A and B are shown apart, each in its own frame.
Chain A
Amino acid sequence: MVTTAARNDDFSYRLWRYDGAPGELIPLLQSAQDHFGYIPRRAIGYISGVTGVPESEVYGVITFYSQFRLQPMGKYVIKACDGTACHVQNSRMIIDTLEDELGIEVGGTTEDGLFTLSTVACIGCCSLAPVMMINDDTHGRLTPQSVRKLLRDYRRRETAARAQAAASCGDAGAR
């Protein structure tokens, strides 16, 4: 059952409940991104229709803020910190390692749709530099070795989860 709080955060619900209160554009965009994983073209249309803000203006707001994506993202969004403290603790080497291990450049997504790699200016975890976030989890005191191990662990968990899902589907089919 969907709780009231979850329902209130749901993008469709928020659109429906929009009552003209000022300052709702960015929260609506954030809600759309939470819902779709990025901001698809049609979401811009919905938001424009409901708020009365022209689509071009909505687009202008989206492209101003680095949080918003107009392309689908991977399941895991890696935010490697390149802030001052991390930079001084060799974050470039961590970012190089990430690019190498994933086979993509910063800004790209792996072909299997698992990882999107981005950099961020500062996560606020400076004493544990170098740091990166994978979705909402923060990992600190990184070394090239620990980064490679971390990514392999994530991949291994994904493969195991997919195998399990496939197996249970197979069971259901057999019954």
Chain B
Amino acid sequence: MKKVIVGMSTCGLSAGSQKTYDRLGELLAANPGAFELKSAGCIGMCYREPLVEIRENDTRIVYGAVTPELAEKIFNEHVGGGRVLEEHVALRIEPGRELGGSEAPHQKNQVRIVLRNCGLIDPESLAEYEAAGGYRALRKALLEMKPDEIVKVVKDSGLRGRGGAGFPTGLKWSFAAAQKSDVKYVVCNADEGDPGAFMDRSVLEGDPHSVIEGMIVCGKAIGAHAGYVYCRAEYPMAIRRLTIALEAAREKGHLGTNILGSGFDFDIKIKQGAGAFVCGEETALFQSIEGKRGMPRIRPPFPAEKGLWQKPTNNNNVETYANVPWILMNGAAAYAAYGTEKSRGTKVFALAGKVKNGGLAEVPMGIPINDLVFKIGGGIKEGRAFKAVQMGGPSGGCIPASLGHTPVDFESIPATGAIMGSGGMVVMDDQTCMVEMARFFLDFTQNESCGKCTFCRVGTLRMLEILTRITQGEGRIEDIENLKTLGAQIKDASLCGLGQTAPNPVLTTIKYFGEEYEAHIKDKRCPAASCTALVDFCIDAETCTGCTVCAKNCPVNAITGERKKTHVIDTSICAKCGKCITVCTFGAVYKK
């Protein structure tokens, strides 16, 4: 019987997949037994959501942009009549044949290890996870391997932390393993606070058992019996799916006492974040679990020695744990075969911003930025020019298009001044103002600073004030030097990663886009026509229909025009409030 599988993770739902699912449900009710209706996690092609897959034996045909109407058409013609609607096929996967469908280029350059099950299985079904090979690594680790053997496999694979710092995972595990304590903890950092990053969300929503399995294996390796997943509250579906997965794992006996008859006990609890970016920093995370304000602690001592409740703790990112079962089953050498010498394996990237194909892509480390932006990302929307890519969230930096050949790995990206970070890549075009981006990031880090360190707390505020003045046309000649000096001081005098990296977006934009800063300060001009105070609002004569809505809504009566004739904004009166843009249904108002 054909299976009809609808992508029902957060991006699918926000694109309207619930309505599509409901229509298919109605069709099934009217035609009992016609097909099996299921839901799955995110395959990563977020830009083509809602996605509906028709699966028959091993052949998978994924349709993109499936509205309820298209779903009915697919039911009638494909499910009922066996006719594939070729023009809507995003992806066609048949064993022994090359990848087909309009979006094949997006998928065929990928190596899906972490995302191996996302979009393939029902994330709420333990049976499907096991059918896909799940929990075999757990069996091997608990019944056939000793703790130091497990650590050795992870070390040999070359896996480095996927949360951003890139610390060698096997080495980290060995530190906690070496501690003598009857109480140790395994912690999974699912706080994913970087704006622009959604890899962890996708894994938790699409394949939560892979993370659970990885954590239990870690527990065996370091001698811990309790695990915590710290998941941010902004991910309610991830928390829901993880809760279901934990209950199922407990019922099956993969969690609890004497797992698989091995004599090993382990269980996992979920702790929800409460909306604080700084709690993605591991010591702040521990404080938060302990019920305190999330203010980082000084290191040393490191978490492996004194972590959660001052006990030896191993903390890793969601993606790091999701790699572990695959590495154990396929061997360290298989993992190390991908990537570069110092950055082994694959990495999941979240492409967003001005790129055509926004979504998730898992690729071998070392692939050049341009491949991600153009081959997989499909290039820039509306055919505009590629200007920069922001990597590493608020801790990272903006890499200009001229450095697009840079390989994405733990060595090459930091050499540009940015960091690879957790994998978020926000692509920018010529309409993005880099000074405004720097201000935006500082606004964020200023808000999220815990306040403990003077230089972070006050320094970021001063930098923000300077940048705000510049974007409002009140920049001064000495501003750039002041930003550089302040930036260096904040990096030096901050206790944790937030403060230490907060100046990065500013310093990289000054380095690569210095002329934009100069234009703002000296010429009071925004080259990207973005900073409201430095541009004029205009109405495009060809698009304007003369509906008069803008004129009626202008708070200072700056717009004149007759019905059905082009309207005009008097820039000398215009208060630059932007109201006209938000009320025009034709998109005729623009900034120049």
| B-binding residues in A (CB < 8 A) | 22-27, 29-30, 53, 60-61, 64-68, 79, 83-89, 92-93, 96-97, 100, 120-129, 131, 133, 136-141, 144-145
Residue from A53, A68, A86, A127 having most chain B Cβ neighbours under 10 A: A127
Q: In the complex, how many angstroms separate the beta carbon of A101 from the nearest chain B beta carbon?
A: 9
Report if A65-B275 is in contact (Cβ < 8 Å); known contacts: A124-B198, A127-B351: yes
Q: In the complex, how many angstroms separate the beta carbon of A133 from the nearest chain B beta carbon?
A: 8
Interface pair B582/A128, CB less than 8 Å apart:
no
| A-binding residues in B (CB < 8 A) | 10-11, 13-15, 46-47, 49, 192-198, 201, 233-236, 271-277, 288-294, 309, 350-354, 358-359, 390, 393, 424, 426, 428, 432, 437, 440-441, 444, 447-448, 450, 578-579, 581-583, 585
Interface pair B195/A138, CB less than 8 Å apart:
no
Interface pair B193/A122, CB less than 8 Å apart:
yes
Interface pair A88/B195, CB less than 8 Å apart:
no
Docked pose: A25 CA to B292 CA in angstroms = 8
Q: Contact check: which of A27, A65, A85 meets B352 at CB < 8 Å?
A: A85
Docked pose: A11 CA to B273 CA in angstroms = 18
Docked pose: A136 CA to B444 CA in angstroms = 23
Q: Contact check: which of B14, B192, B271, B353 meets A26 at CB < 8 Å?
A: B271
Offer 14 A-B interface pairs, CB within 8 angstroms, sorted by A: A23-B271, A29-B274, A30-B274, A53-B291, A65-B274, A65-B276, A83-B196, A84-B352, A89-B354, A123-B234, A124-B197, A128-B46, A136-B236, A141-B14
Interface pair A27/B49, CB less than 8 Å apart:
no
Interface pair B291/A127, CB less than 8 Å apart:
no
Q: Contact check: which of B196, B275, B581 meets A93 at CB < 8 Å?
A: B581
Residue from B294, B350, B353, B447 having most chain A Cβ neighbours under 10 A: B353
Residue of A nearest to B355 (CB): A127
Interface pair B194/A122, CB less than 8 Å apart:
yes
Q: Which residues of B contact A139 (CB under 8 A)?
A: 14
Interface pair A83/B585, CB less than 8 Å apart:
no
Interface pair A88/B353, CB less than 8 Å apart:
yes
Interface pair A124/B49, CB less than 8 Å apart:
no
Docked pose: A133 CA to B235 CA in angstroms = 11
Docked pose: A152 CA to B393 CA in angstroms = 35
Q: Which residues of A contact B358 (CB under 8 A)?
A: 85, 126-129
Interface pair B274/A96, CB less than 8 Å apart:
no
Q: Contact check: which of B233, B289, B294, B424 meets A84 at CB < 8 Å?
A: B424
Interface pair A121/B352, CB less than 8 Å apart:
no
Interface pair B432/A88, CB less than 8 Å apart:
yes
Docked pose: A120 CA to B579 CA in angstroms = 22
Q: In the complex, how many angstroms separate the beta carbon of B485 from the nearest chain A beta carbon?
A: 26
Report if A127-B359 is in contact (Cβ < 8 Å); known contacts: A65-B294, A93-B581: yes
Q: In the complex, how many angstroms separate the beta carbon of A26 from the nearest chain B beta carbon?
A: 6
Residue of B nearest to A145 (CB): B585
Residue of B nearest to A98 (CB): B582
Main secondary structure of the interface of B (DSSP, over half): mixed
Q: Contact check: which of A22, A68, A120, A140 meets B14 at CB < 8 Å?
A: A140
Interface pair B14/A125, CB less than 8 Å apart:
yes
Q: Which A-B residue pairs are the 9 nearest by beta carbons?
A: A83-B195, A127-B358, A25-B291, A127-B46, A126-B352, A85-B352, A65-B274, A122-B195, A66-B275
Docked pose: A158 CA to B9 CA in angstroms = 27
Residue from B195, B198, B579 having most chain A Cβ neighbours under 10 A: B195
Interface pair A26/B274, CB less than 8 Å apart:
yes
Docked pose: A122 CA to B390 CA in angstroms = 15
Report if A64-B294 is in contact (Cβ < 8 Å); known contacts: A125-B11, A140-B14, A140-B15: yes
Docked pose: A66 CA to B354 CA in angstroms = 29
Docked pose: A89 CA to B277 CA in angstroms = 22
Docked pose: A133 CA to B233 CA in angstroms = 13
Q: In the complex, how many angstroms separate the beta carbon of A152 from the nearest chain B beta carbon?
A: 14
Report if A121-B193 is in contact (Cβ < 8 Å); known contacts: A23-B271, A30-B272: yes
Q: Which residues of B contact A124 (CB under 8 A)?
A: 10, 192, 197-198, 201, 234-235
Q: Contact check: which of A83, A92, A128 meets B15 at CB < 8 Å?
A: A128
Q: Which residues of B contact A133 (CB under 8 A)?
A: 234
Report if A138-B444 is in contact (Cβ < 8 Å); known contacts: A61-B293, A85-B352, A126-B196: no
Q: Which residues of A contact B196 (CB under 8 A)?
A: 83-85, 122, 126
Docked pose: A29 CA to B234 CA in angstroms = 16
Q: Which residues of B contact A67 (CB under 8 A)?
A: 233, 273-275
Q: Which residues of A contact B582 (CB under 8 A)?
A: 93, 96-97, 100, 144
Docked pose: A90 CA to B276 CA in angstroms = 24
Interface pair B426/A138, CB less than 8 Å apart:
no
Interface pair A125/B198, CB less than 8 Å apart:
yes
Docked pose: A140 CA to B350 CA in angstroms = 16
Report if A100-B579 is in contact (Cβ < 8 Å); known contacts: A84-B440, A125-B198, A126-B196: yes
Report if A24-B353 is in contact (Cβ < 8 Å); known contacts: A121-B277, A139-B14: no
Docked pose: A121 CA to B49 CA in angstroms = 23
Q: Which residues of B contact A87 (CB under 8 A)?
A: 195, 440
Interface pair B585/A141, CB less than 8 Å apart:
no
Q: In the complex, how many angstroms separate the beta carbon of A55 from the nearest chain B beta carbon?
A: 14
Q: In the complex, how many angstroms separate the beta carbon of A6 from the nearest chain B beta carbon?
A: 14
Q: In the complex, how many angstroms separate the beta carbon of A67 from the nearest chain B beta carbon?
A: 4
Q: In the complex, how many angstroms separate the beta carbon of A47 from the nearest chain B beta carbon?
A: 10
Q: Which residues of B contact A97 (CB under 8 A)?
A: 582
Q: Which residues of B contact A64 (CB under 8 A)?
A: 276, 293-294, 450
Docked pose: A136 CA to B234 CA in angstroms = 9
Interface pair A84/B393, CB less than 8 Å apart:
yes
Interface pair A138/B197, CB less than 8 Å apart:
no
Docked pose: A123 CA to B197 CA in angstroms = 9
Report if A85-B288 is in contact (Cβ < 8 Å); known contacts: A124-B10, A136-B236, A145-B585: no
Q: Which residues of A contact B293 (CB under 8 A)?
A: 60-61, 64
Interface pair B390/A84, CB less than 8 Å apart:
yes
Docked pose: A125 CA to B350 CA in angstroms = 10
